[in-house]
Amino acid sequence: MMPGPTHSTLLNPAQAQRLRLAFDDDRDAETFFLRLERYGPELLDSLRAVYLERAGGLLERLLEIMLHAYHTRPADLKRLDEARLLSPDWLQSPTMVGYVAYADRFAGTLRGVQDHVNYLENLGVTYLHLMPLLRPREGQNDGGYAVADYRSVRPDLGTMDDLSALARDLRGRGISLVLDLVLNHVAREHEWAEKARAGEDQYRDYFHLFADRGLPDAYEATLPEVFPDFAPGNFTWDDHAGEGGAGGWVWTTFNTYQWDLNWGNPDVLAEFVDIILNLANRGVEVFRLDAIAFMWKRLGTDSQNQPEVHHLTRALRAAARIVAPAVAFKAEAIVGPGDLIHYLGTGTHHGRVSDMAYHNSLMVQLWSSLASRDTRLMEEALRAFPPKPTNTTWGLYVRCHDDIGWAIGDTDAARVGISGPGHRHFLSDFYSGEFPGSFARGLVFQFNPATGDRRISGSAASLAGLETALEGGDEALIKLAVGRLLLLHTVILGFGGVPLLYMGDELALLGDYGYADTPEHAADNRWVHRPRMDWELAQEVRDHPDTPAGQVNAGLRWRIAVRKTLPHLHASIEPQVIASPDPRVLMLRRDHPLGVLLEVYNFSEERVVLPAYVLRGHLGEDAHDALSRSAFHLTRPTVTLDPYRALWLTAPEVSA
Ligand code: GLC
């Protein structure tokens, strides 16, 4: 007798019978049915919440897609599925270290990346996010985020088979391949959009199209602008977007050539389940859910973070879990903490949506504290952060390919007695280098005169002061810039989550001002911090660890190695912010069953003297600093922290 699902709510007997017949192998069938029992109810529940009476029909379609994907899933990936089910906390482990790179800028092609896997392995990387590499539209394509075909690779990078081969190679070395899944929009040149423009009703329903400005104007009243400078507004006129070949308005949150998808149409969900499973069967292990906050539109709101987004994610994840439980989801939701936590799951979604989310707030606070030499605002912001579900993790970063928007909450600012708008203004001045005495060199991105917002582009090294210091040739200033870069990276390595090193930051690469000479990039200064990998420098830093780049590199490698030895850094443990006796110093405490880890970070270029009793209260008299691998006695009345110094202190028996 073949096994079958026991949840009668999910399948009727005829459906269950049909499904059974789709398997020749009993064990295979059993695995599928067990997973269906576990995740099917979640899937159906979320489909019902979004698609109401259309949910049943949609589930049948999804089952077909899932069955096909399950049957075609390669044996080594099925093995990975089993391994992951045995280690469900794999993404939370302190051994995880991420690296983020553009395949072409890192190594030319996918095969080129394969030739450089040793480099990544050597750095300790276990998670490789290759920036958008599916075939984008020609010309401007928002760094690949305007996908024209989800089933082929950008031709100059290679083929789908190269992608599978690379994934296999990475997997063999314990490195998970991470790809972007652009969910909110497709390129105007995508087949679906082309068909919609050709008047095919079925595909017109894949998008948000309007005959006149009536609804767009009504929506626009409460919508923010993502690119106010080069793509103002949220709707674009298209000569063929109207009914019967007439012109019409298309929802385009981002650039005019990125058409927002209508997730209210079940066909769109079915398409993406198929796309996800297809890529998962190619060996993609983590999907970065791009711009996920914008997926659902609602009149009278900012059309971000709508409840349907979480149901859709839960449905996509449940489908992925049934076929490919090795796969994890990472939410790219650059939203406030109160909204962000829902992407990791609250209420009935607790721990059932994305497995990971970017901690944008920490990134912003790192740069904010570095500029103000004051960690009180960061303390407030972190304290106000709701705890995440214990089975989820953060994506932690110092820099990424995007600009930095000063997501500083007015309430947090008020709590430490400063003005939100005033501080945001200061940070923009500081990081564009306009503020007198600023060490930073960055560029203003998307100045919005309506809100006063000035976001910032720039490489980590340039923002941390290395560019200006090298120009001035002052050794002391260079040392401080190196100290800042290492400090920020130490925080993300020690926060509990997957640290995401952004390509080039391990070599302290400066801004690449040549972007302005490339016509497709000139208008978008985010390209200043998307440099090409400098392989000569990568070699040089190994031979000359005393140069600034060499010090950053060696320092990072050391910290990565130390991180991997500390069980306290498991992401299921929440860091607690400890009241610091000095505003320049941030203190975080992690309580692991093995003991306490106290992290101490000096965010200033000054030597800070702390009363030792504060640390002693957490650790006793004889602590151990994991970062310097040395005893750290707390018997004296004070502790002196050098500029930008970090300590990871444990009690001695823990590190023994
Ligand atoms: C995400 C990407 C960004 C892109 C946008 C639109 O925010 O990180 O680079 O412009 O989505 O896809």
Judge whether 76 counts as a catalytic residue: no
Name the closest-CA residue to atom 9, ligand 1: 402
Confidence label for 3 from pLDDT (cuts 50, 70 and 90): low
Distance between Cα 29 and ligand 1 center (Å): 40
d(CA 599, CA 615): 10
Distance between Cα 290 and ligand 1 center (Å): 6
Q: Confirm or reject: Cβ of 458 under 6 Å from ligand 1.
A: no
For residue 643, report the phi and psi dihedrals to the nearest 5 degrees.
Answer: -50, 130
Of 332, 412, 467, 625, the catalytic one is 332
pLDDT of the residue at 17: 86
Please give the C-alpha separations between residue 12 and each of 7, 35, 518, in angstroms, as whole numbers. Answer: 9, 17, 59
Name the closest-CA residue to atom 1, ligand 1: 291
Residue type, 228: P
Q: Please name every residue paired with 39 in a beta bridge, in sequence order, or none if there are none.
A: none
pLDDT value at 113 more than 70: yes
56 in Cβ contact with 265 (< 8 Å): no
d(CA 530, CA 101): 9
> What is the β-pairing status of strands 608-611 and 638-641?
antiparallel
pLDDT (tens digit per residue) in 598-644: 999 999 999 999 999 999 999 999 999 999 999 999 999 999 999 99
pLDDT of the residue at 1: 46
* Dihedral in degrees, nearest 10, Cα atoms 140, 285, 268, 230: -20
Q: Confirm or reject: Cβ of 430 under 6 Å from ligand 1.
A: no
Distance between Cα 276 and ligand 1 center (Å): 19
Percent of the chain with pLDDT over 90: 92
Ligand 1 atom at minimal distance to the Cα of residue 253? 6
- For the segment 331-343, the average pLDDT, to the nearest whole number, is 94
Q: Confirm or reject: Cβ of 402 under 6 Å from ligand 1.
A: yes
Please give the C-alpha separations between residue 107 and each of 188, 266, 318, 536, in angstroms, as whole numbers. Answer: 29, 39, 35, 13
Q: Please name every residue paired with 344 in a beta bridge, in sequence order, or none if there are none.
A: none
Confidence label for 652 from pLDDT (cuts 50, 70 and 90): low
Please give the C-alpha separations between residue 130 and each of 107, 167, 550, in angstroms, as whole numbers. Answer: 11, 11, 25
- For the segment 470-492, the average pLDDT, to the nearest whole number, is 98
Distance between Cα 543 and ligand 1 center (Å): 37
Distance between Cα 146 and ligand 1 center (Å): 9
Report the length, in residues, of the chain: 656
Q: Please name every residue paired with 149 in a beta bridge, in sequence order, or none if there are none.
A: 135
- For the segment 222-251, the average pLDDT, to the nearest whole number, is 93
DSSP assignment letter at 155: T
Name the closest-CA residue to atom 7, ligand 1: 291
pLDDT of the residue at 10: 83
Confidence label for 4 from pLDDT (cuts 50, 70 and 90): low
- For the segment 126-155, the average pLDDT, to the nearest whole number, is 97
- For the segment 474-480, the average pLDDT, to the nearest whole number, is 98
Angle between helices 535-543 and 548-565 (to 10 degrees): 80
Q: Confirm or reject: Cβ of 142 under 6 Å from ligand 1.
A: yes
Structure tokens at 631: 């005893």
Structure tokens at 616: 């002693």
Q: Confirm or reject: Cβ of 254 under 6 Å from ligand 1.
A: yes
Distance between Cα 508 and ligand 1 center (Å): 24
Q: Confirm or reject: Cβ of 405 under 6 Å from ligand 1.
A: no
Distance between Cα 131 and ligand 1 center (Å): 11
d(CA 445, CA 274): 36
Percent of the chain with pLDDT over 70: 98
Please give the C-alpha separations between residue 572 and each of 91, 98, 314, in angstroms, as whole numbers. Answer: 10, 18, 21
295 in Cβ contact with 188 (< 8 Å): no
80 in Cβ contact with 326 (< 8 Å): yes
User: Helix, strand or coil for residue 152?
Assistant: strand
Surface-to-core class of residue 603, CB atoms within 10 Å of its CB (0-12 exposed, 13-18 middle, 19+ buried): buried
DSSP assignment letter at 121: H
Mean residue pLDDT of the chain comes to: 95
Of 280-284, 381-385, 499-503, 504-508, which range is least confident? 381-385
- For the segment 385-414, the average pLDDT, to the nearest whole number, is 96
142, 251, 520, best to mutate for ligand 1 pocket (most atoms within 8 Å of CB): 142
d(CA 621, CA 615): 9
User: Helix, strand or coil for residue 286?
Assistant: strand
Name the closest-CA residue to atom 5, ligand 1: 291
Name the closest-CA residue to atom 3, ligand 1: 402
pLDDT value at 304 more than 50: yes
Name the closest-CA residue to atom 10, ligand 1: 142
- For the segment 135-152, the average pLDDT, to the nearest whole number, is 97
Please give the C-alpha separations between residue 451 and each of 335, 424, 425, 447, in angstroms, as whole numbers. Answer: 17, 11, 11, 9
pLDDT value at 7 more than 80: no
- For the segment 318-332, the average pLDDT, to the nearest whole number, is 98
pLDDT of the residue at 653: 54
Ligand 1 atom at minimal distance to the Cα of residue 400? 8
249 in Cβ contact with 42 (< 8 Å): no
pLDDT value at 407 more than 60: yes
Distance between Cα 210 and ligand 1 center (Å): 24
188, 254, 358, best to mutate for ligand 1 pocket (most atoms within 8 Å of CB): 254
pLDDT of the residue at 11: 84
Q: Confirm or reject: Cβ of 290 under 6 Å from ligand 1.
A: yes
Task: Annotate 25-58 with b (16+ C-beta within 10 A) or e (fewer).
Answer: eeeebebbbebbbebbebbbbbbbbbbeeebeeb
CB atoms within 10 A of CB 200: 13
Q: Confirm or reject: Cβ of 145 under 6 Å from ligand 1.
A: yes
CB atoms within 10 A of CB 295: 25
pLDDT value at 590 more than 80: yes
Q: Please name every residue paired with 611 in a beta bridge, in sequence order, or none if there are none.
A: 638
* Dihedral in degrees, nearest 10, Cα atoms 120, 121, 123, 127: 70
Judge whether 332 counts as a catalytic residue: yes
Residue type, 262: N
pLDDT value at 539 more than 80: yes
Cα–Cα nearest to 171, from 79, 89, 287, 94: 79
Distance between Cα 638 and ligand 1 center (Å): 47
Structure tokens at 70: 């399950």
317 in Cβ contact with 165 (< 8 Å): no
Of 162, 189, 285, 290, the catalytic one is 290
Ligand 1 atom at minimal distance to the Cα of residue 142? 10
Please give the C-alpha separations between residue 393 and each of 311, 349, 558, in angstroms, as whole numbers. Answer: 20, 15, 23
CB atoms within 10 A of CB 580: 19
